[in-house]
Structure 1
Amino acid sequence: MERKKLQEVLRELKMLKHDIPNTELMMNTPPKDIEDCCCLTALTCFRETLLQHFGISGKYQKKLYKSLNHTLTISGLNFCNTETSTTNCSTCHSHPKEKASEFFNRLESLVQRVRLFQIYFRKLYIKY
């Protein structure tokens, strides 16, 4: 179920990337190398930044925002075993601003990371 939701997020993200008028827009963007326990914090940052700059008025914005807020997406990005580990995560406003194109590339990388993680463990599970 999570896998389908993550595939849906990637499709919606791709549609929105092609639909945005200003790829030069500067947005707070989490880093490429997000620690496992900071994935949910990064997701929250991506979601809030998306809402702040694009709203949810457009078709693709609304669908993507809703999918990023879905419990299956959130559980798919929860790699952390304890809540205290998230205290080392940076706040959204502390992340440097990057062009919108880079923002979307990093969001896509985060979602793909989850998919790769799931594929790896599914293969490992089948193997044993």
Structure 2
Amino acid sequence: MPTYPLLAPPPLSSGSPSAHPPSIVTSLVPPMFNAQAEESPKNLILKKVMNELDRINNGMNKSITLNSPTINDLEDCCVKSALNCFQSKVLYLSVPDGKLKKLQIIISNELHKIVNRVSDCKPKELEKAQCKPCDSYKEVDSQTFVQNLKTLLQKIYASQP
């Protein structure tokens, strides 16, 4: 009995070399794996909140003013404090309809999850940082408030490994 190369099928009955069907090498090659690692749950939440903020920003009343931390106001150990401030104020954004109001509640809940996942500083570092209370931040219009929150979320997202 003749032997055949591993990937070549046996010859057809006509015996001519052109009667061989083409080899299917790709069926033996394992599928390619996604080169990028899956994103962490924290990063997925960050992306979700940033997208939801865009939707809120497009439909909200922009005349409301709220206390808002900015990146320039924050020391590294005050990120959690700033997120708590944003979370407490985000429900005060003035939105015209029920869909955006629901989205506002979702954003607040997702911010709570982010706050719990942000690494906190050591107690001695927190004492030195002297994070400001939320009401001590400058009042800004609601559009600037949303932009400041997005900027902070982008900073957190960019700092992830």
- Indicate the TM-score class for this superposition, using the shorter chain for normalisation: 0.7 to 0.9
What is the number of residues matched between the two proteins?
114
Q: Name structure 1 gaps, 5 residues minimum.
A: 122-128
2:107 matches 1:64: yes
Give the number of the structure whose residues are more often helix, by fraction: 1
When normalised by structure 2's length, the TM-score is: 0.64
Q: Name structure 2 gaps, 5 residues minimum.
A: 1-40
When normalised by structure 1's length, the TM-score is: 0.79
Contact kept, 8 Å, 2:62 with 2:141, in 1: the verdict is yes
Contact kept, 8 Å, 2:91 with 2:105, in 1: the verdict is no
Q: Which has the larger radius of gyration?
A: 2
Contact kept, 8 Å, 1:54 with 1:61, in 2: the verdict is no
Counterpart-to-counterpart distance in 1, 2:92 and 2:124: 28
Counterpart-to-counterpart distance in 2, 1:83 and 1:11: 33
Contact kept, 8 Å, 1:76 with 1:114, in 2: the verdict is no
2:63 matches 1:24: yes
**RMSD of equivalent CA atoms:** 1.9
Contact kept, 8 Å, 2:69 with 2:82, in 1: the verdict is yes
Contact kept, 8 Å, 2:64 with 2:94, in 1: the verdict is no
Equivalent residue, structure 2, for 1:89: 131
